Amino acid sequence: MQSMHSNLLSSEEVQAKGHFQVVPYGALRLLEAPVPWFHNDDVTNVCQGKPSIQLLLVTTVSSFSHHLFAPCTHSFTIDVLSMAMAVANIAAQRIKREIREIMKDDEVERCGVKVQVNEQNWLDLKGEINGPPDTPYAGGHFNLEILIPETYPFSPPKIKFLTKIWHPNISSVTGAVCVDILKDQWAAAMTLRTVLLSLQSLMAAPEPDDPQDAIVATQFKDYHDDFLVTAQHWTGIYAGGPNINEEFETMVKTIERMGIDEKIARARLSQANWDYNRAVSLCFN
């Protein structure tokens, strides 16, 4: 049986050859395992006639056992633009397939989750989630911005709510979302379908101990009844829900006549648990 060490290069050969390994775009880093070797001429021929740049790759090469070779430095030409385009194309093809699956998925349709595609840019999408039943968001339709990174599916999509919502895990100001699967719990096997259904589930079961909006989270935990009526009112105002509290809107308009923007007035009243005097103080202090 041939020893695996017989395939290793000598230190002189390491110095005489350069090598590279294709890694996800933006993730070029020091490698510590033997990888295929390419002569400078081989790489230059591949990139000939294409936009390219000179990169200097410093690589530490180690053997499978106790053999340790000295670091080697090798300058070669690599077509970064073509690599970036290839990776972006992988992301676009993957998301196209996922969207086709979403459109055929009975569960997604039943839950009221939709995706709107942009034929000019498949990485720039819009989504819509219906508010879950038996929640303050019921009857509302919440629009989303969905940006697919070029490194997808190795990086999660970037999603924010375009429709204003009163929820502990969604910013009432920016629409930014705090959910594990869009951060450190993301895995390449996950899909856009998984994300959208998870967001809808999050709407039904907030996690106030891991908030995106601390003010809403505090209200959720300490003044839950106020949270429920506020979330329901925001759903009626911003998401087309069936319930709008006219008494709340009267206070909004009164503060608006003081020169305060309508949305700011509503946010301050919501923050103050609809205490008019406290809300006015928040507006002017």
Joined tokens for residue 31 = 């490698």
Task: Report which of 66, 67, 16, 6 is spatially closest to residue 37, judged by C-alpha positions.
Answer: 16
Q: What are the contacts of 46-52 at 24+ separation with CB within 8 A?
A: 46/79, 47/77, 47/78, 47/79, 47/82, 50/79, 50/81, 50/82, 51/79, 51/81, 51/82, 52/77, 52/78, 52/79, 52/80, 52/81
H or E segment at 213?
A: none
Q: Which amino acid is at 97?
A: R
Buried b (16+ CB within 10 A) or exposed e, 196-208: bbebbebbeebeb
| Residue 72 annotated among the catalytic residues of the structure | no
State the catalytic residue, choosing from 47, 72, 111, 178: 178
Strand 53-59 versus strand 72-78 pairing type:
antiparallel
Q: 160: which 2 tokens? A: 């924010």
* Termini Cα distance of the chain: 81
3-state helix, strand, coil split of the chain in percent (to 5) is 40, 15, 40
How far apart (Å, rounded) are the C-alpha atoms in residues 78 and 104? 41
Q: Which residues are catalytic?
A: 178
